[in-house]
Amino acid sequence: MSDSQPIGVALLGLGVVGSGVAEALERRRDALARSVGAPLELRKALVRDLGKPRPFPLPPHKLTLRMEEILDDPDVRVVVELMGGETPAGEHVRRALERGKHVVTANKELMAKDGPDLLALADSKRLNLRFEGAVGGAIPVIGALSRDLLANRVRSIHAIINGTTNFILTRMAEDGMDAGQALRLAQERGYAEADPANDVEGLDAAYKLAILATLAFHSPISTRQVYWEGISRLSPQDFRYARELGYAIKLLAVAKRDQDGLEARVHPALIPEAHILAKVGGVFNAVEVAGDLVGRAVFHGLGAGPAPTASAVLGDLVDIGRMLLVNAEPPKAVPMDRSDAVKDMSQVSTRYYLRLHVPDRAGVLAKITRVLGDLDISIASVIQKDTDPVTQTAEIVITTHPSREAALRRSLAMLGGLDVVKEVSNMIRLEELPS
Ligand code: NAP
Ligand code: HSE
């Protein structure tokens, strides 16, 4: 153990992640002290309800309902924000920085919405604001983009960055479990957000993509510029047909830069079964970064849950602790020296999978292909599935070559109006990945 003065730490929030961090601070006290060079001392935890049972209970004198107690304690050098949401977490982070305290947060919503401003405030005060736990759980991808890959011109990011939905999609694909059952299991294990709608609808991944894209492209990208769509339209047939075509279905986050600008989007996508991202199962996350020097680098690890997130939060804490011991100033933030336009989704070009419910009779396919042809949407494959002799209906599954989203959307409206189409049952984007 070190003889140095302890470094005081306060937690804002003692829920799933906060309890994981408190437990690791306590149980790994000596090992952390050896890594830092001084003990990390948990002085206070801000909560809403003092009497609530907690997965890792703290002595009552360490709990508080008042942020001032933390701000006024000169021995608290680092504030760790694990409350979630924008309000009041953002205000607390701002006040902590203004009072000269370093901050660690795992709050993707806050960093996606206010990250550039908060980082500028931290920079102006020569303080650290670290957020490794905000994206990818245990995976050290923020550090990689902020430091290790900084010399690259990043071309693209393809990522699976929501553990809850990846867990749900894996259970649906592998065990035929329904989405509701799988979500309940994810909630029990502490993967889902307090309001799981953000996970299921793709907003959680959109926050994370905004953070990654901002760092990768050195250009502030807000969540408003990210197109997002969730997993609720996926059905067991889509998994079955995708598998027969050689694809897996994942909630994919994509950020790309080309000569026309940037793309930033989150949506379900068919990806080749042989690709490394297709093999990312359960609550695991993965981020593939393609850059001019690195080629392709893939980061893979547990994306949610108390222990993996504590791993990232404690990594940031240890780093700050080490700097405090030698009075080192924080490194400069990633420069935000570009302002590339982010394309509207209607201008993005991808391949598509379409599933149509049709009457099983002559002439149906001809009418469908004419609509697509007239809009310059080139077909890559067509298969007829699930022919039902009783109802005399079938499903047609079409994959296309790359087409503009605007044209594809137009075609969906026109197909839906054809007398030979009972229903446009689904459209899923089919992503070509770097190889
Ligand atoms: P959680 O279980 O809901 O915990 C939130 C904690 O914050 C609770 O202890 C709550 O106090 C406290 N809190 C909330 N509002 C408060 C207020 N106004 N004043 C005082 N205390 C307040 O959330 P979580 O899952 O731990 O997530 C925390 C953060 O980590 C979020 O930003 C989340 O996105 C992020 N994150 C979560 C995971 C994960 O796997 N869960 C992974 C990575 C990042 P009470 O307990 O008294 O109600
Ligand atoms: N709810 C998030 C997820 C937690 O499922 O990925 C990790 O940020």
Same-domain check for residues 131 and 12? yes
Same-domain check for residues 87 and 182? no
* Residue 433, token pair as written in the block: 């990945």
Report if residue 53 sits inside a domain: yes
Same-domain check for residues 248 and 294? yes
Place of tokens 């050290």: 140
CATH code, domain with 244? 3.30.360.10
CB of 199 sitting under 6 A from ligand 2: yes
Same-domain check for residues 187 and 245? yes
- Which residues, including other chains, have CB under 8 Å from residue 366's CB and lie 6 or more apart? none
CATH code, domain with 100? 3.40.50.720
Of 239, 267, 302, the position where a domain reaches its end is 302
CATH code, domain with 353? 3.30.70.260
DSSP per-residue letters across 138-161: T--HHHIIIIITTTS-EEEEEEE-
Same-domain check for residues 126 and 80? yes
Report if residue 2 sits inside a domain: no
pLDDT band at 306 (very low <50, low <70, confident <90, very high): very high
What pLDDT was estimated at residue 195? 85
What pLDDT was estimated at residue 194? 80
Same-domain check for residues 188 and 265? yes
Q: Which atom of ligand 2 is nearest to the CA of 108?
A: 8
Q: Which atom of ligand 1 is nearest to the CA of 134?
A: 44
Predicted confidence (pLDDT) at residue 338 exceeds the cutoff of 90: no
What pLDDT was estimated at residue 249? 98
CA of 193 to the centre of ligand 1 (A): 9
- Which residues, including other chains, have CB under 8 Å from residue 424's CB and lie 6 or more apart? 354, 355, 356, 412, 415, 416
Report if residue 142 sits inside a domain: no
Predicted confidence (pLDDT) at residue 1 exceeds the cutoff of 60: no
What pLDDT was estimated at residue 2? 56
* C-beta atoms surrounding 30 within 10 Å: 11
8 A C-beta contact, residue 261 and residue 342: yes
Predicted confidence (pLDDT) at residue 304 exceeds the cutoff of 60: yes
8 A C-beta contact, residue 7 and residue 76: no
pLDDT in tens, 375-397: 999 999 999 987 888 899 999 99
pLDDT band at 175 (very low <50, low <70, confident <90, very high): confident
Same-domain check for residues 233 and 169? yes
pLDDT in tens, 231-242: 999 999 999 999
What residues line ligand 1, using a CB cutoff of 6 Å?
13-18, 46-49, 52, 82-84, 88, 106-108, 133, 137, 190-191, 193-194, 304-305, 309
Same-domain check for residues 160 and 67? no
Query: What average pLDDT does the segment 56-69 reach?
Result: 97
Q: Which entry of 208, 250, 256, 343 is annotated as an active-site residue? A: 208
Of 325, 356, 377, the position where a domain reaches its end is 325
Same-domain check for residues 109 and 23? yes
Find the angle CA(45)-CA(48)-CA(52) to the nearest 5 degrees: 85
Mean confidence (pLDDT) of the chain: 96
Query: What average pLDDT does the segment 202-229 reach?
Result: 97
Predicted confidence (pLDDT) at residue 151 exceeds the cutoff of 80: yes
Query: What average pLDDT does the segment 351-363 reach?
Result: 95
* Proximal ligand: closest to the CA of 194: 1
> Model-level pTM?
0.97
| Residue 202 structural domain | 148-302
Report if residue 269 sits inside a domain: yes
Helices 16-27 and 29-36: angle between axes, nearest 10 degrees: 80
Report if residue 61 sits inside a domain: yes
CA of 196 to the centre of ligand 1 (A): 13
Same-domain check for residues 54 and 99? yes
CA distance 57 to 327: 33
DSSP per-residue letters across 24-77: HHHHTHHHHHHHHSS-EEEEEEE-S-TT---SS---GGGEES-HHHHHT-TTEE
pLDDT band at 340 (very low <50, low <70, confident <90, very high): confident
- Residue 303 phi/psi, 5-degree rounding, is -100, -5
Question: What total number of domains does the chain contain?
Answer: 3
* C-beta atoms surrounding 25 within 10 Å: 22
CB of 191 sitting under 6 A from ligand 2: yes
Residue 208 among the catalytic residues: yes
CA of 175 to the centre of ligand 2 (A): 22
CA of 63 to the centre of ligand 2 (A): 26
Same-domain check for residues 358 and 318? no
Report if residue 336 sits inside a domain: no
